[in-house]
């Protein structure tokens, strides 16, 4: 009887050996821990910028001098080595905003201010175009005055920033940046560009708005 029981159990044991794979022992295991770092950009306006002043004139009202040297400062922080930003400017003309920045190249910029008044004090788009087109004539650019705008761009070497690569475009300046921290300072001349100021420019508040924005990616 004992032999019979053993004989019956042997096939079952062999079957278990056939259908149960052998366990392979290892002495190492690994786990991939993955963090996704998204692209980052922060463009801020420096509150220390000088953005408002008054003006004085000579006795013939043929020259204008700003009482204070105005400037606009922007700070850009990015982790993207292929970042592209752009400086643009607008001014009020014919009831809407028009391009107010022009110049021969990225280092020789000019900014047009327009009178924000109404009726006889309002500027027209053609007045702005007369200045930006390079054929400025006082009688044709009433209530629009241009000033030279000088850029100073400072990359923070400790942040990994490198020299910005500027490109002049019809409506502003495009800058290619590497990852890091940059300071952009735009200083306004205190005297007007020739043939943009005269008695055709009435009293009132003249304004231009500079904007720094991301354009790519």
Asked if 182 contacts 211 with a C-beta cutoff of 8 angstroms, the reply is no
Return the bridge partners of 113, or none. 145
Q: Over the stretch 59-100, which tens digit does the pLDDT of each residue have?
A: 999 999 999 999 999 999 999 999 999 999 999 999 999 999
CB neighbour list of residue 211: distance below 8 Å, 6 or more residues apart: 87, 88, 89, 90
Percent of the chain with pLDDT over 70: 90
User: How confident is the model over 101-128, as a mean pLDDT?
Assistant: 97
* d(C-alpha 71, C-alpha 21), whole Å: 78
Asked if 206 contacts 113 with a C-beta cutoff of 8 angstroms, the reply is yes
19 burial via Cβ count (<10 Å: 0-12, 13-18, 19+)? exposed
User: How confident is the model over 161-168, as a mean pLDDT?
Assistant: 98
Asked if 93 contacts 114 with a C-beta cutoff of 8 angstroms, the reply is yes
**pTM of the complete model:** 0.87
Q: Over the stretch 172-202, which tens digit does the pLDDT of each residue have?
A: 999 999 999 999 999 999 999 999 999 999 9
Confidence of residue 8 (pLDDT cuts 50, 70, 90): low
Cα distances (angstroms) measured from residue 5 to each of 15, 18, 91: 16, 21, 103
Q: Over the stretch 9-24, which tens digit does the pLDDT of each residue have?
A: 555 555 555 555 667 8
> What are the residue boundaries of the structural domains of the chain, listed by start?
41-216
């Amino acid at each position: 009887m004992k032999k019979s029981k053993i004989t019956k159990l042997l096939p079952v044991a062999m079957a278990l050996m056939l259908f149960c794979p052998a366990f392979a022992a290892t002495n190492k295991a690994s786990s991939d821990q993955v963090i996704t770092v998204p692209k980052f950009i922060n463009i801020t306006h420096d509150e220390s910028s000088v953005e408002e002043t008054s003006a004085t004139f000579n006795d013939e009202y043929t020259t204008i001098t700003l009482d204070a040297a105005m400037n606009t400062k922007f700070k850009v922080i990015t982790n993207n080595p292929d970042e592209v930003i752009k400086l643009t400017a607008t001014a009020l003309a014919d009831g809407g905003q028009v391009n107010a920045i022009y110049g021969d190249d990225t280092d020789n910029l000019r900014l047009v201010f327009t009178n924000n008044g109404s009726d006889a004090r309002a500027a027209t788009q053609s007045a702005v175009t007369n200045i930006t087109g390079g054929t400025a004539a006082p009688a044709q650019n009433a209530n629009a005055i241009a000033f030279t705008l000088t850029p100073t761009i400072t990359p923070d070497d400790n942040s990994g920033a490198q020299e910005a690569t500027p490109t002049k475009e019809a409506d502003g300046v495009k800058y290619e940046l590497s990852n890091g921290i940059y300071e952009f300072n735009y200083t306004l001349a205190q005297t007007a560009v020739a043939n943009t100021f005269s008695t055709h420019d009435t009293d009132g508040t003249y304004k231009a708005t500079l904007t720094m924005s991301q354009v790519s990616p």
